[in-house]
Structure 1
Amino acid sequence: MLLGALAYNCGPGVVNKSSILKKLRRGDRNIFKEYTAHCRYKGKWHKQLHQRRLTEFAALYVR
């Protein structure tokens, strides 16, 4: 579900090349840092996108 949200927002190409997917395939579930790093728009870091990633991570990953 978390990768689906990222693919919807960033595109499936981003997810397929991401370190998040590589880590999950290895069985490593420590992806917080990598997931929340996807908060750039036109090459610049955006506070609102970072907040969105934090919210998505909390809602979809942590139970």
Structure 2
Amino acid sequence: MEFEFDYESKLIELATQINNRTYQPKPSTVFMINKPVKREIFAADFSDRVVHHLIYRAIYLDETFA
């Protein structure tokens, strides 16, 4: 939720880091869930998810050949 409070400046900062090649992913948040079975979850930071979507959209082919 922290990202959305000041999202415009956060996006500008993120874009600057990417363009300057200084972007570094942040550590994942780790937690356990018990349903349906006990397992460990690694959740990426929100800014890292934004970058993941940027990369995906840059390399994904819109045409599917299936």
Q: TM-score, normalised by structure 2?
A: 0.29
More strand by share: 2
Query: Which has the greater radius of gyration?
Result: 2
More helix by share: 1
